[in-house]
Every structure is written in C-alpha cells, then in structure tokens.
Structure 1
Amino acid sequence: MRHPQPLPAAGHAEVRIVAATPEVARLIAEALRSRFAATEQRSYPAGGEGGTRLHLTVDTTHTAGPPRPWLVTSESSGYRRLQADEM
C-alpha cells in the first residue's frame, strides 16, 4: 500500500520529470526555472535503461522574471554586437 504524500505548500507544485537521458530532463527543468522560482533539482535513476527521474519544487507565487520575448529567446546564446544602425 502506498503512503499518501503530503501536499506542497500553497502556491507550490512538486514536479516529476521522467526522461530517457539526464540532458533532456535538465532541459525541461531549465524551461520551468526560466518562468518560475524553483528549488534545485534532485535526480534519480528511472528504469533499467539509463532513464532519469528529476524532482523539483516550483513556486508559482514568484516568477523567475518577466517572460522573454520570442525574438530574444530565438536568438543564439552567443554574444551579439549591436550594429551601428541599432543604437
């Protein structure tokens, strides 16, 4: 018999991510943390074929910052210089 888990505090959510690789699980966790404040992730093996299970707590009452416009998020993460006509 499974014991009931205590509910997270109001405004918080417990998130479980299961992915085939640790990189994919971290990518999803980063996406959540870019929008909401969250705890450090805790990872565990998932299944017998190298899968990863990742747990984190998301605080929906505190956003991690304003959402970035799609144009900013679509640019490469490398350093971008302003051109003369952009100043």
Structure 2
Amino acid sequence: MNTAEPLPATGHAEVRIVAASPETARRVAEILRRCFDAAEQRSYPAGVEGGTRLHLTLDTTRPAEPARSWLSTSTSTADDPSHADEA
C-alpha cells in the first residue's frame, strides 16, 4: 500500500482502470457508474501506445442495482493478500 497517497473518504473507493484503448476503459467505467454513484472520471495515457488509465471515485454508500444486492450478500476479504504487482 502506498502510504503517500491519501485514502478516499469513508464509504468511497478510488478505482483505476487500465486498458489498451480509451473506449474499453470508458465501457468499464460506465458499468461501475450504473452500480454506484461516481464522480467525474479522469483519464491519462497508460504509458503504452494507445493505452489509457482512467480514474474515478465511487460512492459505495449509494449503490444501485445490481451492486446493492451483491453487497448485501458479500463478505469481506480483508485477510486476503494483495496481488504481487499492487502498490
């Protein structure tokens, strides 16, 4: 975990999408926005030809379907380790 980066407000999540094309990143972001309230997305070059890195903030306190039903039945996986390539 990168401690230099501030954590989002309680009930919010920062999501980063990395895709080969801007259209693919936008499609994934659109699905997330259908499940949660979201702030306006920000996009950046991903460092590879045509790649895109898209950031958005989700408000998990205001889920819509299908996230609402999924969240009510899910369990926390806080004990699971992060992927090796995550910072």
TM-score w.r.t. the length of structure 2 is 0.69
1:48 Cα deviation (Å)? Answer: 2.8
- State percent identity of aligned pairs: 69
1:22 equivalenced with 2:16 (yes/no): no
Match of 1:5 in 2: 5
**Structure 1 runs of 4+ with >2 Å offset:** none
1:66 Cα deviation (Å)? Answer: 3.6
SS in 1 for 2:28: helix
Structure 1 unaligned blocks of 5 or more: 68-87
1:36 equivalenced with 2:36 (yes/no): yes
Match of 1:82 in 2: none
CA deviation map 1:30-66 (0-9, x unaligned): 0000000000100000013110000000000012x44
Q: Supply the RMSD in Å over aligned alpha carbons.
A: 1.5
**Number of aligned residue pairs:** 65
SS in 2 for 1:49: coil
One-letter code of the match for 1:43?
A: S
- The within-5 A match list for 1:32-71 is 32-63=32-63, 65-67=64-66
